[in-house]
Structure 1
Amino acid sequence: MDKFEKLTGIAAPLPMINVDTDMIIPKQFLKTIKRTGLGINLFDEMRYDRDGNEMPDFVLNRPPYREAEILVTGENFGCGSSREHAPWAIKDFGIRCIIAPSFADIFHNNCFKNGILPISLPQEQVDVLMKDAEKGGNARISVDLEAQTVTGAEGDVFHFEIDPFRKHCLLEGLDDIALSMQQMPAIESYEARLAQDRPWV
């Protein structure tokens, strides 16, 4: 998993509440177990018409938001089913950080497991960042995970809270497998002892 330390980039405004995981990645794309290749289907039913043509009014189909690395959106983002394909699609599109007043719990947890930083801020602060995002590509937003701050395009600085363990994992690029691999000396010692004490196992 890639480390997350600091990020300055284009923020796409998505002023919608209760965006569920089926909107993020519709059910027909859940057949794969690969974490890559889903970015093209992110928000599929809002991005494309029935013939597969891009709908020019949707934010991620418009320059400069095609290159967005941050998403600013409404409360209860990621509600609905617990599909991990939702953060897979978001990450594969190129978005590394989502800013919203609140997130659905399972989606929130899945973001951290996939190297995405979900930031919860009060509605009035999200409103400021939403207006910044609506200004386009020249209005960059900066996120500093170590300092736990978001800096808007006009210099507004907002502090966010994050669980220390999750912060550590993002800063070091540690997913669940990498965390387990850190325990390899203890695992190998146990396996060697088990082989000696119970060779029939």
Structure 2
Amino acid sequence: MVNLIWAFMAIVGIVYAMFNGTMEEVNKALFESADEAVTLSIGLISILVFWLGIMKIAEKAGILDILARLFRPVVTRLFPDIPEDHPAMGYILSNFTANIFGLGNAATPMGIKAMQQMKELSGSDTASRSMITFLALNTSSLTIIPTTVIAIRMQYDSAAPTEIVGTTIIATLISTLSAILIDRFYYYKSQRRK
């Protein structure tokens, strides 16, 4: 559906430019944007590779295991339907750890695997309580170190690219607590209706 919306917007813009006589400006903007996108992507790749390397070092050093053990009591309370030794719990913890470090690209495959494991666990085609909670937490932008945003700010020569870390932590706390409260509110509301 989103692809159709983007295609519709592009077609409307091109048709409008044709009738308005600004097709040359559209072509110029198109090629300049494509060039800038490639440059930005190459800059982001270097930062993401660096942080993924740091994550690999942290994994080999056992830091990720420590973080997983630290988060495990909280995660087991958030997902009471999932047994502690189930593979979904490991994927959830890995997803949260990657998201906390702002590595959304690295967190996505783990999130997909976690959802697949939770679907198998529920044995249903409808979203389970754990799947809804997981989606709400991922949507709430669970990030402490926004590496991608820092990389973009560095790419555009920001004077202080890391100054957003403090506000990111505050925003993450508020959005994550809100996601948990809203998730629990609607869960208990649906339970009372049964």
**Range of TM-score over shorter length:** under 0.3
Q: Which structure: greater strand fraction?
A: 1
Tell which structure's C-alpha radius of gyration is larger.
2
Q: Which structure: greater helix fraction?
A: 2
Higher relative contact order (CA 8 A, sep 6+): 1
